């Protein structure tokens, strides 16, 4: 086990009818009985007895937050690839990004996709019936 999680370890012990509050020797016996190696048991005991780290409450380490503005250089640095942002195009699609009203172009595109998919499925069905000589093509 390369990466242990304290919650996983506690759940594992409970499933094996053991308590995370048991002594180290008892926990060691349970883990060794389950086939854990000596190094894994030592790492598990260290993790089990460690104090939980406090959950970070500040959102400063989250790279993308709603309402943040990014420049091309900031995104390039975060992603590791060259990114070019055209502000004019962002303004153009702002209604779609913010869940604005449907545009006629969007409705026509969705409807056209549905009609095309239905036509292709119908055509494939008719072609299959013709090739297999079933249904109206039965001779």
- Over residues 55-105, the pLDDT tens digits come to 555 555 555 566 666 677 777 777 778 877 776 665 555 555 555 566 788
- d(C-alpha 118, C-alpha 121), whole Å: 5
Closest CA to 32 of 11, 24, 5: 24
Q: Say what the pLDDT of residue 49 is.
A: 82
13-26 residue pLDDT tens = 888 888 878 888 88
Q: Say what the pLDDT of residue 9 is.
A: 84
- d(C-alpha 21, C-alpha 49), whole Å: 9
């Amino acid at each position: 086990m390369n990466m242990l999680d304290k919650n996983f370890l506690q759940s594992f012990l409970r499933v094996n009818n053991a308590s995370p509050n048991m002594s180290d020797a008892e926990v060691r016996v349970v883990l060794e009985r389950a086939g854990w190696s000596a190094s894994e048991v030592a790492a598990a005991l260290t993790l089990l007895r460690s104090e939980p780290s406090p959950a970070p409450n500040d959102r400063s380490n989250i790279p993308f937050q709603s309402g943040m503005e990014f420049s091309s250089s900031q995104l390039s640095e975060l992603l590791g690839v060259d990114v070019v942002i055209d502000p004019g195009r962002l303004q153009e699609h702002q209604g779609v990004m913010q869940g604005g009203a449907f545009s006629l172009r969007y409705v026509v595109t969705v409807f056209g996709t549905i009609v095309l998919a239905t036509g292709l499925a119908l055509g494939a069905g008719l072609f299959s019936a013709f090739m297999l000589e079933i249904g109206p093509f039965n001779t």
